[in-house]
Amino acid sequence: PDSASIARMRRAWGLGNAVARPLSRVGRVRDVQKSLPSRYNSKRAMQSAEERNGYTNFPNPIRGVDKVSWFPNQEGRDLTWHNLEADDARASMIAPLLPEELQHSARVLKRSLPHLGVNLMVGAAAEITRDRPGNGGFRLWVYSDLETAEREAIGLAQGMEVKHTTYNTGFAGAKVVCDASGANNSVLNVNKNELMKATAALLHELNGTMYTGCDLNTTTGDMDNLSQDCPYVLAAIANEAVNPNDATAYGVLGAVESVLEHFHGKTVVVHGCGSVGGTVARELVRAGARVYTIDAGVAKGGIFCA
């Protein structure tokens, strides 16, 4: 993106003027920002992940392959990468924010795990390599069909590409998406321990070209389990003082404040009051906003009622 586009994205994500002043009664966002290095480097992150708790000593790690082919029909394994055509219906609304050469380079890997009732996939905005590995969270959800899950994986990966480009992290945009529709249409029926083991095996095959973390319906506990079997996890699990959900929530607050300028007296609807949305709703109330909540769990939404 050109400098003007980057500036707009920085403001939208709270990195522009919002960083220069404290959020209205949400001062902890600045503490979160101060705890981050000025230029987060992917190689430093990868080294830390691999060295954490002796991860460099994993049994039989796969080494020596610079990148994974993103083309179909890899012999000897059920790992198939699909490149998407420029006019593919799965292209997301995020694509126009990307540089022109990346707008039609999305790709997705799919692996069926029938014994768990899930389809596991990795979406990427472009080619990922060990020099510029993909990074994005692990989302577990029930989708209406496989194409919808693919579309989500691609759209989320492209969104991560915009973020990584804006903040110059050194990572490429990617996302892990798991469709649990085969588990009686409920994420609660998925054996998380076995899913993390299957995910670890897939990440090992990708050989350092993909790193993941928490997202919808995956927790720091899941990432801790995943990290026992592979080093490709970036989720602040080694630092109990850091709550990644709160960090995400403060990013949301920063983005909203950059548009509204202040919260006092504003009326806001928060749709979803889980680990991230709950913090957003609480902090908005503290900042003087009138907050309405929507959540499938009445208890989650009800705690914010006046």
Answer yes or no: is pLDDT of 122 > 90. yes
- For 240-268, the pLDDT digits (tens) are 677 778 888 999 999 999 998 899 999 99
Q: Which of 134, 161, 175, 126 is nearest to 45 (CA)?
A: 134
89 pLDDT tier (thresholds 50, 70, 90): very low
* pLDDT for the residue 58: 34
* pLDDT for the residue 62: 30
- Judged by DSSP in three states, 151 sits in helix
CA distance 35 to 265: 31
* pLDDT for the residue 82: 64
Strands in 142-253 per DSSP E: 172-179, 210-211
32 pLDDT tier (thresholds 50, 70, 90): very low
Kindly report the CA angle at 289 between 159 and 6, in degrees rounded to 5?
25
Answer yes or no: is pLDDT of 163 > 60. yes
In this prediction, residues 280-290 reach a mean pLDDT of 93
40 pLDDT tier (thresholds 50, 70, 90): very low
CA distance 54 to 41: 21
Q: Which of 121, 138, 111, 133 is nearest to 67 (CA)?
A: 133
Residues in Cβ contact with 159 at an 8 Å cutoff, skipping those fewer than 6 apart:
92, 94, 173
* pLDDT for the residue 98: 78
In this prediction, residues 43-69 reach a mean pLDDT of 40
- Structural domain boundaries of the chain? 23-35+242-302, 42-227
- For 131-149, the pLDDT digits (tens) are 999 999 999 999 999 999 9
Q: Which amino acid is at 124?
A: A
- Same fold for the pair 23-35+242-302 and 42-227: yes
234 pLDDT tier (thresholds 50, 70, 90): confident
| CATH 3.30.70.260 given to domain 23-35+242-302 | no
Q: Quick one: DSSP state of residue 98?
A: S
1 pLDDT tier (thresholds 50, 70, 90): very low
Report the range of poorest mean pLDDT among 31-45, 62-76, 103-117: 62-76
* pLDDT for the residue 248: 87
In this prediction, residues 222-228 reach a mean pLDDT of 93
* pLDDT for the residue 305: 46
In this prediction, residues 65-85 reach a mean pLDDT of 44
* pLDDT for the residue 66: 33
Q: Cα dihedral angle (273, 254, 164, 119), rounded to 10 degrees?
A: 10
Higher pLDDT, residue 304 or 284: 284
Q: Which amino acid is at 266?
A: K
Residues in Cβ contact with 123 at an 8 Å cutoff, skipping those fewer than 6 apart:
106, 107, 108, 109, 136, 150, 152, 153, 154, 155, 156, 157, 174, 175, 177
Cβ(215)–Cβ(242) under 8 Å? no
CATH architecture of 42-227: 3-Layer(aba) Sandwich (3.40)
Cβ(285)–Cβ(264) under 8 Å? no
* pLDDT for the residue 128: 92
pLDDT, averaged across the chain: 75
Maximum Cα–Cα distance across the chain: 61
Burial 264-288 (b: 16+ CB within 10 A, else e): eebebebebbebbbbbbbbbbbebe
* pLDDT for the residue 129: 92
Count of residues making up the chain: 306
**pTM over 0.85, yes/no:** no
Answer yes or no: is pLDDT of 192 > 90. yes
* pLDDT for the residue 101: 74
